[in-house]
Amino acid sequence: MENEGKDNGEFSFVSDGGAETGRRGLPKIHTEKNAPTTERDICHDDSTTPMRARTLEHLHSLQKKRSTPTTPLTDSQGVFSPVSEAERQKQQLISISASLASLTRETGPKLVKGDPEKKKEAHKASVLDHLHFGEPILNLSDSALKSTHILYNLSPAELYEQAIKYEKGSFITSTGALATLSGAKTGRSPRDKRVVKDDTTEKELWWGKGSPNIEMDEHTFLINRERAVDYLNSLDKVFVNDQFLNWDPENRIKVRIVSARAYHSLFMHNMCIRPTAGELEDFGTPDFTIYNAGQFPCNRYTHYMTSSTSIDMNLDRKEMVILGTQYAGEMKKGLFSLMHYLMPMRQILSLHSGCNMGKNGDVALFFGLSGTGKTTLSTDHNRYLIGDDEHCWSDNGVSNIEGGCYAKCIDLSREKEPDIWNAIKFGTVLENVVFDEHTREVDYSEKSVTENTRAAYPIEYIPNAKIPCVGPHPKNVILLACDAFGVLPPVSKLSLPQTMYHFISGYTALVAGTEEGVKEPQATFSACFGAAFIMLHPSRYAAMLAEKMKKHGATGWLVNTGWSGGSYGSGNRIKLAYTRKIIDAIHSGALLEANYSKTRVFGLEIPDAIEGVPSHILDPINTWSDKDGYHETLLKLGGLFKKNYEGIHTYQVERDSELAEEILAAGPTL
Active centre residues (catalytic): 188, 333, 352, 370, 374-375, 389, 454
Beta 470-471 vs 397-400: how paired, if at all?
A: antiparallel
* Other residues' Cβ atoms within 10 Å of the Cβ of residue 569: 14
128 within 8 A of 94, measured Cβ to Cβ: yes
List, in sequence order, every residue forming a beta bridge with 404; answer none if it has no partner.
Answer: 458
- For the chain, the first-to-last Cα distance in angstroms comes to 107
Peptide bond into 468 cis (omega under 30): yes
Q: Which residues contact 176 (CB under 8 A, 6 or more apart)?
A: 425, 426, 427, 428
DSSP 226-240: HHHHHHHHHSSEEEE
In which element (H, E) is residue 349 found?
Answer: strand 349-352
Beta 147-152 vs 237-245: how paired, if at all?
A: parallel
Q: Where are the alpha helices (DSSP H) in 235-322?
A: 262-271, 277-281
**Rounded-to-integer distance, Cα 14 and Cα 10, Å:** 14
550 within 8 A of 496, measured Cβ to Cβ: yes
455 within 8 A of 430, measured Cβ to Cβ: yes
538-552 helix and 329-345 helix, angle to the nearest 10 degrees: 60
**Rounded-to-integer distance, Cα 247 and Cα 468, Å:** 7
φ and ψ of 258, to 5 deg: -110, 120
* Three-state DSSP class for residue 507: strand
**Rounded-to-integer distance, Cα 569 and Cα 657, Å:** 42
